[in-house]
Structure 1
């Protein structure tokens, strides 16, 4: 099943590839190989990944663990008001008025609607605030935190929606708090299949989100500046959903092709909801990491 791209974003390879730890693009040769190559190789790779994961110990550990698949931060119910507050949040520019809680429980319960629960370590209020505010020390514009208490929030996980402990940050001027999940995710079990090093192209950069009905998945993929963007293939099995990308078209010659990469946001529709199936990258053989859409902005090129 092939999906079309939803929107594309541009980013120089020096930033994009350093951020995700990928190897540099070696000119247009790899791009053209991905365009002209036999996609049967990637299709077979997807089958191998699905076969390795379905029924594996890694898949069982994935289903038994706590793996966030949605935003760890939830803004106040009414959202942020005005461009200044939105900019302060994007810049991680917060000012703390008062003191953070000095003590908190070491562990907390993640609970799912069916009654399943899991005990996981909690980050402290200080750690949570540092994640939220970074290293900024004020300036304008900024958001002011006037209080912090331990509460809870609902977020999407690999096992569906769950109620998790969260630090609730009261913001000056807002009636409802900003919430940040306090629960430490479960560690990933080693993949039952090694990454493929000999297939042209790039691993998926991130999972952005899954719709409430589980029928659509949005990811970010990398492609070169000398092609027409990304096409996504999906292999669905009973236990997994394997995503693999190829590039389409080819623009310019060797003289005009540069070592740059673009990030492209792609939405794929599934035949049935993701559910507790593992969402996998065909090239890495690993679950697609959730990172959200933070820092992704529209490309002037379009999709």
Structure 2
């Protein structure tokens, strides 16, 4: 029961919040068996492929089986699913002053130009492989409204205002689930700034819910993919843990998907010891039976696809 409580708490913390950076330590390549280094936060798997077992294995099999032909797979492989497209690109050196920054964040922005209008209401996302996808365009008026309709919370120096003097179409390159893509942007020139403030002119498609309901098995922990080795045989992922000892994880593999299962064992406490409330991260290397290739890494908890997030 204590193990279940620990893993459930860790799972909840993972699902509710993001994970911060971790400090990679050097692995011990000469150890033939999976090894946990005392005091370290990297766990290195040995050359064996550890089979998945228990409730977590059943969950991983369910997630992998639901992936082929799902709406989520179609969106991931054929839609527009950006991975690093920000809500805005600020010019170099922004902002000139704290008053300008406060005015921008408060939405104290005036329009002193005519906004361009799209005829078709559509825009194209062009992918590196030459394919393109037509999607509804986010108009310049919508962008301006998102900037000016912010909650004005200024308490001092509220006289400072920013003025939009020009709006032009532009482009930006973003990373997506289908590789690099070029998207349309709106470039807003603000009085006193040489570089434009840029905003996406297309919004990402909302991914459909996974085919399986989110679930965190008691004997497994959902991971976050961080890196793939050059030969595709080792995946590095972070595994969150609390009052426990991180352990080598296991892998469920199919021809189309890979599901990583993090593991942690409850830590034995002395009579006067108590667990802290800190969520820790361990870097774990998961060895596959064959290179990852075009297979998709899926989250154990919610079945959503992942790409490396350094």
TM over 0.5: yes
Per the alignment, residue 75 of structure 1 pairs with 89
Q: Does 1:284 align with 2:302?
A: yes
Q: Does 1:239 align with 2:285?
A: no
Aligned length: 257
CA distance in 2: counterparts of 1:56 and 1:175, whole angstroms? 47
CA distance in 1: counterparts of 2:97 and 2:307, whole angstroms? 30
Q: Does 1:101 align with 2:119?
A: no
Instruction: For structure 2, list consecutive stretches of 5 or more residues without a partner in the other structure.
Output: 1-10, 19-50
> Which stretch shifts more, 150-159 or 175-184?
175-184
CA distance in 2: counterparts of 1:217 and 1:88, whole angstroms? 43
CA distance in 2: counterparts of 1:210 and 1:79, whole angstroms? 32
TM alignment of 1:1-303, pairs within 5 A: 40-41=53-54, 42-54=56-68, 56=70, 58-73=72-87, 75-76=89-90, 78=92, 80=94, 84=98, 92-98=105-111, 101=115, 103-104=117-118, 106-129=121-144, 131=146, 135-137=150-152, 139=154, 144=162, 146=164, 147-199=166-218, 223-224=241-242, 226-227=243-244, 239-247=256-264, 250=267, 256-257=274-275, 262=279, 277-287=295-305
User: How far is the alpha carbon of 1:157 from its aligned partner?
Assistant: 0.8
Residue-by-residue CA offset, 1:72-124 (whole Å, 9 max, x unaligned)? 245346464689599769x9455313258374452211111222111111223
3-state SS in 2 of match to 1:115: coil
3-state SS in 2 of match to 1:97: strand
Highest CA radius of gyration, 1 or 2? 2
User: How far is the alpha carbon of 1:66 from its aligned partner?
Assistant: 0.8
CA distance in 2: counterparts of 1:230 and 1:95, whole angstroms? 52
CA distance in 1: counterparts of 2:293 and 2:86, whole angstroms? 20
User: How far is the alpha carbon of 1:188 from its aligned partner?
Assistant: 2.5
CA distance in 2: counterparts of 1:197 and 1:95, whole angstroms? 45
Residue-by-residue CA offset, 1:27-66 (whole Å, 9 max, x unaligned)? xxxxxxxxxxx97333453344223314556423421111
Residue-by-residue CA offset, 1:144-165 (whole Å, 9 max, x unaligned)? 4634333221111111111112
CA distance in 1: counterparts of 2:91 and 2:134, whole angstroms? 28
CA distance in 2: counterparts of 1:16 and 1:264, whole angstroms? 10
What TM-score does the superposition give when structure 1 sets the normalisation length?
0.58
Q: Is the 8 A contact 1:110 1:165 kept in 2?
A: yes
Tell me the C-alpha RMSD between the 2 structures. 5.3
Q: Is the 8 A contact 1:101 1:148 kept in 2?
A: yes
User: How far is the alpha carbon of 1:194 from its aligned partner?
Assistant: 3.6
Per the alignment, residue 6 of structure 1 pairs with none
CA distance in 2: counterparts of 1:15 and 1:45, whole angstroms? 19
> Which stretch shifts more, 99-108 or 133-142?
133-142
Instruction: For structure 1, list consecutive stretches of 5 or more residues without a partner in the other structure.
Output: 1-12, 21-37, 294-303
CA distance in 2: counterparts of 1:17 and 1:97, whole angstroms? 40
Q: Is the 8 A contact 2:221 2:261 kept in 1?
A: no
